[in-house]
Each structure stands twice: as structure tokens, then as C-alpha cells.
Amino acid sequence: MTASSPDTGSGANAAIFYHPDGYDTSRGKLMGRHAAGEGFLQGFARHARVDEIYAYADKREQFEQFRSQVQPLCNGKKLTWIPKVRPQGIEQAGALYVPGPGVSEYAWQRQFHAPAAWSITGITHTICSDRVMDSIGDLLIAPLQEWDALICTSPAVKRGAENMLTAYGEYLSARLGAAAVQPKLQLPVIPLGVDCDHIGSEDPGGKLRREFRRRNDIGADEIVVLFLGRLSFHAKAHPLPMYQALQAASVSTGKKVALVQVGWFANDAIKRAFVQGARAICPAVRNLFLDGRKPEVRTAAWKGADIFCSLSDNVQETFGLTPVEAMAAGLPVVASDWDGYRGTVEHGVTGFLVPTVMPGAGAGADLVHRYFMGQDTYDQYIGHVSQCIAVDAGATARVFEDLFRNPELRRTMGEQGRQRARREFDWRVIIGAYQQLWAELGERRRTARPSAASGVVQGHVPLRGDPFAVFSHYPTRILEAATRITIAGPDSGPAWQRLAGLNLQSFSRHTFAPDGRIDELLGALAAAGPHGLTLGEWLAGAQPGERPVLERTVGWLFKMGVLRMVS
């Protein structure tokens, strides 16, 4: 077949770039991209309207691994290996699918053949690592065309990528004295998918639910709040606001609450921090930690829970698959109003989104510089940034109170979520959107003329932008000069050092103001009375180099619940 007549079967097709790392969840260090990749491969095998499934793989052994994953699901479709050393074989499929954003090298490979020979599509996951930021910048200089695409899993990640592309495009334009440089490829938004039939499968008579609760010694009158995912306070979702909110809601309602955290820890130190934090912050709540790397544990947890909670506060998050899985399981979702979550959870219908806040642009340039210079690792960088991002624990507690007191609300929201997941996020729907995209790109390829590779541009490091600028659209609110702040409560001032001493908090202590400056701030706010001070008033006397640290410190104090905004 030729590029002008790709194998479509009943729908447009793409060769899948395959390496086991991108599609396998049976690993110790399980990440969101592995779950997304495995889900895509299974969804494509089951639901793609094609006659033949192509694997673009380096070695025959990798193709055999591909075959073992796909063959049981593909209903007899033909499986074909395209060796990586012969990329011209992609032409018969019409497009190449890459399970990540690094598509530039494949565009250069295509240049050895013909720019219009096939389309190339990649997909975003996290976009704040140095490697991924570089790959996004490469989109401007690689020979990508308008019939190529970087699929963005949410409007939030699309905007973040556009922020980077704009900054780097301006640099290239100024550097080379060229016209404005813009990417040639498309940036469509297609969310990740879930297998609604599997996650939302029937539980006749509640047998699986009862067994999960019996095995974990959970009483029939206990309300189970579930968190499922990587257990990482610096890289995923800091548990502090969830712990604080559950403690408050459990005490105020008198309900028995069990928090079941199903996931995995990167190391024993992180595990100890979670366990220590839970004991210290929510003693009224029973805490259980289960190994989420085991599929049977995840399946049972979906059946046994009453409410799902994920309060993401990290710039590495871009979509957030677990709230969608929770909706597919029929659970109401309590989530942070943060990047991709606000595109999946329908506030007041399938669950609740609680407000978030972080410092404004200018407060984090030194943090990304430390990462750029190798002083901090990637984990340290995103951890330091996340420590300045706060989820409103008070609002979260009020949401939990409503859900604890009202089982009918839980049931209604859960059913609405189940319907929304099946309607908008089931792999049947998502694979259809992929095939529609490939068809549209194929039409562009057949009718348009290739453009020259763009060259291009400006002074700082545009792909290492201040995280509080690049991701300024993620939170509900930004701490600005006019933001009026005050002490959250009579015990908040004395409590800050106790909270700051927890391992959950102390790992980023060196990125904030010294104790003396914090005490000065708390003293000034106490003297100001209930109306507090504006952030600008507090920062007025600061030295220029001190302002970012002080602004971050205010975000940190918000995170711990020491400060609040004055309405």
C-alpha cells in the first residue's frame, strides 16, 4: 500500500511504536504513563476498526512481546512487525503512534524517505522534566508537518505546552532574526481512556465489596475513602490536606471513617513519612495501606470503597487517570481543582473539585535554575515546587461532611460518574477519536505541501520557565500583591513549627524563609487583626532577592493551614 491509500480496514490506522517499557504495569516502579500505555494498547486491540495491527519495534523479541499482549484481545486481526531499521514500512499503516512526546527523532527519520509518507503522532504525559521540556522545544526545529500531531490529554497540558512553545519560539525568532516561529504540527486534545467494562463490572449481591471489607476488617458502618495511585508526597499528591480534611469531617459528623491508600512507595523513607503523617494528623481515621501494584488489590478496592479522593498538587500531573477510573467504578470523586482534573470531574455532578492556590510568576525561577544546573534532581525540583501549592483543606472537609452524611448523594454522584466515564472516557470512545484524528491527518497529508523545516531564537532558558509562570493556570487562585492574608486560627501560629517538623514537610525546608522571618510575618498578621495584610504590604520591605523566597513561604504556610485568605 502507498501513503495515498493506507490500510484503513473500517477506520484509519497507525503503526504502534512498541517498547515493553511503555506498555507494562507489572513492574515495581509503576508510573502513570505505564498504566496509560497499557490501557491504550489493550483498548486499541479491542476496539480499533482495522484489519491489521502494526508494531514498529526494534527487535523481533519485542514484537513477540507485543504479540503476547495483543493477540488475546484483537479478535483474530493480523499482527505485523515493522522493524525500526525499515521505517518506510510505516507507510502501509499511514501513521506512527509514539507513546510519549518525543516525536522529533521520528520526523528526522522520515526525512530520509519523504515528509508526506506518513503522519506522526505522540502524546503528552508529564511536561515538566528536562527531557520532556527539551522534546517540546524540539517540535519547533524538527521537520514536523501539519499532518503530524502531539496529542494533549487535557486542555491544561495543552496550554502548558503552548506556554513553552511560545517562549522557545520567541527565543528562536530573536536569536535568528526570523519571523515568529510556531509549531507546524497539530495539538489536539484527546483524553486518556479507561476500560469501563472491567472497572465498572457488576458485583452481584455485593460479594466482592463484602469480601474486601472482611479481609481488611472494615465494619459495615464504616465509610471507606479510597486513594489509589503512587504514594509520593513530593511527586504525586501531598496527603496533608486529605488527612486534615478527613480528621475534621470524621470528628464533626461522628462517622467512622477508614482511609484506604492503595498504591506503592518508592522507598521506606517515603512510607514512614506517610504512616507518621497519618498518625499525627488524622488519629480519628483508621488508615490502611495496600499494595496497588497488584491488579486484584486495585479491583477489590474499587468495589469496597464509598468515596474516592485525589488531591493532586503537583506540576508533573497533567491528566489524572484515577478520578476517571473512580467514576467508572461508580464512586463520587473528591479532587483538587487542578489542571486535568477539572476537565474530568464535573463539580457538583460526579463529585467535587476543591480550590487550590500557588504563588505567582517570579517566585520559582531559582528553583528551576537549581534543577537546570544539576543542584537538584527532578524529584527534588517538583517536590520543592509542590510544597508551595496548597489545596483548601477546609473546603475539602466540608465536602466530606456532605458525602458522609448523605449516602443518597454518594449514590447519585457515583451513578452520574459511571455514565460520564462510559460516555466520554471509555476506550471505545477514545480509540474512535484517535482513528478520526489519523484520518484527518491523512487527508492533510494527501492535499497539503510539505513546509521547510523551521529554524529559529532569545536570552534566558525558555524551556526552563519559572514553574509558577508556566503552570499559572493550574490552581483556582494565584497569590498576588492584593491578596489579603491572615492567620487561619488562634492555634495556627504556634502549630506551624510542629507541622514543619514532620517528614512530610521538612524535606523542602531550605527553600523557604528562616524561622525568624516566619515569626515576623505571623507577628505582623496577629497585630493587623482580623483583616490581616495584603501580600504586597508584607513584601514591601523585602530585599529584591528575598521576595521569591518569602512568596513561596506564604504558599507553604497556606499548604499547612497556618494562613488563610481574607474574603
Residues 216 and 235 reside in one and the same domain:
yes
- 179 assigned to some structural domain: no
**The C-alpha cell that represents 52 in the structure block:** 491489521
Residues 144 and 232 reside in one and the same domain:
no
* pLDDT at 194 (0 to 100): 96
- How large is the average pLDDT for residues 12-24? 90
Condensed to tens digits (0 to 9), the pLDDT of residues 453-465 reads: 433 222 245 677 8
Q: Tell me the DSSP string of 462-508.
A: GGG--HHHHTTTSSSEEE-TT-EEEESSTTHHHHHHHHHTSHHHHTT
Residues 19 and 121 reside in one and the same domain:
yes
- 120 assigned to some structural domain: yes
- 8 assigned to some structural domain: no
Residue 37: which H helix or E strand, with range? helix 32-47
Q: Among 8-12, 55-59, 198-202, 313-317, which is the least confidently predicted range?
A: 8-12
CA distance 558 to 359: 10
Number of domains in the chain: 3
- How large is the average pLDDT for residues 132-141? 96
Helices (H), 126-154: 130-138
- 456 assigned to some structural domain: no
- 463 assigned to some structural domain: no
The average confidence (pLDDT) of the chain is 92
Q: Is 180 exposed, middle or buried (0-12, 13-18, 19+ CB in 10 A)?
A: exposed
- CATH number of 107's domain: 3.40.50
**In which order are the strands placed within the sheet that holds 307-310?**
286-291, 257-264, 223-230, 307-310, 333-336, 351-354
Identify any residues that bridge with 150 across adjacent strands, giving them in sequence order. 122
- 176 assigned to some structural domain: no
Indicate if the pLDDT at residue 452 is higher than 90.
Answer: no
Residues 412 and 443 reside in one and the same domain:
no
Residues 416 and 441 reside in one and the same domain:
no
* pLDDT at 461 (0 to 100): 53
- 53 assigned to some structural domain: yes
Condensed to tens digits (0 to 9), the pLDDT of residues 60-94 reads: 999 999 999 999 999 999 999 999 999 999 999 99
CA-wise closest residue to 232 among 379, 404, 396: 379
Record the pTM: 0.88
- How large is the average pLDDT for residues 363-374? 96
Residues 436 and 494 reside in one and the same domain:
no
Residues 438 and 480 reside in one and the same domain:
no
Quick one: pLDDT band at residue 1, thresholds 50, 70, 90? very low
Residues 559 and 435 reside in one and the same domain:
no
- How large is the average pLDDT for residues 517-525? 94
- CATH number of 235's domain: 3.40.50.2000
Indicate if the pLDDT at residue 4 is higher than 90.
Answer: no
Residues 27 and 86 reside in one and the same domain:
yes
Residues 526 and 406 reside in one and the same domain:
no
Condensed to tens digits (0 to 9), the pLDDT of residues 96-125 reads: 999 999 999 999 888 888 889 999 999 999
Quick one: pLDDT band at residue 129, thresholds 50, 70, 90? very high
- 60 assigned to some structural domain: yes
Indicate if the pLDDT at residue 307 is higher than 70.
Answer: yes
Residues 127 and 219 reside in one and the same domain:
no
Indicate if the pLDDT at residue 508 is higher than 50.
Answer: yes
Residues 151 and 269 reside in one and the same domain:
no
Q: Which domain holds residue 530?
A: 476-565
Indicate if the pLDDT at residue 10 is higher than 60.
Answer: no
CA distance 119 to 543: 53
